[in-house]
Structure 1
Amino acid sequence: MSGIAYALFDTAIGRCSLAWGAGGIKAVRLSDSDDGLSRDRMLRRFPEAVEAVPPPHIQAVIDDVVRLLAGEHVDLSGAPLDMTDVPDFHRQVYALVLKIPPGQIRTYGDVARDLGDVTLSRAIGQAMGANPFPIIMPCHRVMAAGGKLGGFSAPGGSNTKLKMLTIERARPDAGPQGDLFG
């Protein structure tokens, strides 16, 4: 078996896929229209990857993703992410975004301020668009100013982002800090 494997799994938003290697999770893909497309996209990214049964520690993350997308408040911030190929700036952004709990929302500007430079909002958006771990690294919880959704690079775009925020009971219209329901 090669060093990278992947698995497809069902969630409340459709079939998703997750790739892993010795260093942890390499990538997550949110719902594609069919399994063939999911496999093709995973193999385009990792040509040497093989479809396999996940080891227990990876299956535990998949189970948590499924639970989160079913509406449970699950903390995925401890998932083993392999950031070997992630640029340093993106790692800094992701470290902050990983701290946003389900049901809460931040803006690109909020994250830029946390990094100490409000002029970085556009770069924050680019880091979100390059996120190889959507849902685990919750880029869907980062929105544009004024309560606007902003972009989302996963299949389904902003509709998928809104669906995920709805599942988490976040209120995109509540302003940049968002609210927890209940």
Structure 2
Amino acid sequence: MTQSTLFSAGTGPAVRAREFAASEMFEKLFSEGMELVEETASYLDGPGRADSKQLDRAGALSYATESMKLTTRLMQAASWLLAQRAVAEGEMSAEDATDGKYRLGMDRPTDNLWPEDESPPAYLGTLVERSRSLYARLKRIDDNLYSDAGGEVDANPVADQMAMLRGAFSQS
């Protein structure tokens, strides 16, 4: 099913948000997103700690940065999903969900975090790719739902801070 057939033609953002929040597609995305959050937390709190201890100093810094970006991306996705669920359950109006503070900003993935002679632990890499895929799908839906809601989403302040940190640490 394409996104153009998900929502009633000619409807506004609030109507589309209500329709989406009540859909089976949303239920599946919500389950997938929350399962990925739980799986990531379990990895980072368990096997991920052991994985990070096997890395050299540069690799450990890359691991910390990657896991922070992963966690941030998933928190943003979970927040968006929870806002949509609040619409579905009548705890938030669909009109309120069109507010920019509930919208998803652009994800700014960083592919070159790892030193040339090191790569991320395999499972971390898998979680990163899955989180990027989920976020990209949610972002496309968000853009489709709220395309004429007005108000652009502000830049991602966490991503901006990460970029500043990378710049500070990459200088010799």
**Common fold, TM-score beyond 0.5?**
no
TM-score (norm 1): 0.27
TM-score (norm 2): 0.29
Q: Which has the higher strand share?
A: 1
Q: Which has the higher helix share?
A: 2
